[in-house]
Amino acid sequence: MRAEEMLQTLVAHGYRLTEPRQALLEVIACRPGWFSVRELSEDLGQKKIRVGRATIFRTLNLLVDLGLLERVRGANEVEGYVVTGAGEHHHHLICSRCGRVEELPECPVAERLAELAAERQFQVVSHNLEVYGVCIQCLRQESLEQEK
Partner DNA sequence: CCTGCTGGTGAGACTAAGTATCAATTGCTA
Partner DNA sequence: TAGCAATTGATACTTAGTCTCACCAGCAGG
Pick the piece of the chain touching its own copies (CB under 8 A) from 10-18, 39-47, 58-66, 92-100. Answer: 92-100
Distance CA 121, CA 12 (A): 42
Pick the piece of the chain touching its own copies (CB under 8 A) from 33-41, 54-62, 80-88, 94-102. Answer: 94-102
**Amino acid at the residue 14:** G
Integer CA distances (angstroms), 131 to 48, 72, 103, 104, 122, in order: 35, 11, 10, 10, 24
Tell me the pairing of strands 92-95 and 69-73: unpaired
Beta carbon of residue 36, minimum distance to DNA (angstroms, whole number): 4
Beta carbon of residue 48, minimum distance to Zn ion (angstroms, whole number): 29
Q: Does 139 bind its own copies (CB under 8 A)?
A: yes
Beta carbon of residue 74, minimum distance to DNA (angstroms, whole number): 10
Residue among 117, 119, 85, 114 nearest 102 (CA): 85
CB 34 within 8 A of CB 81: yes
Residue 128 vs 137, nearer CB to DNA: 128
Which of 105, 144, 145, 146 forms a contact with its own copies (CB under 8 A)? 105
Distance CA 125, CA 52 (A): 36
Distance CA 83, CA 71 (A): 9
Which of 121, 143, 145, 148 forms a contact with its own copies (CB under 8 A)? 121
- For its own copies, the binding residues (CB under 8 A) are 71, 73, 77, 93, 95-96, 102, 104-106, 108-109, 111-113, 116-117, 120-136, 139
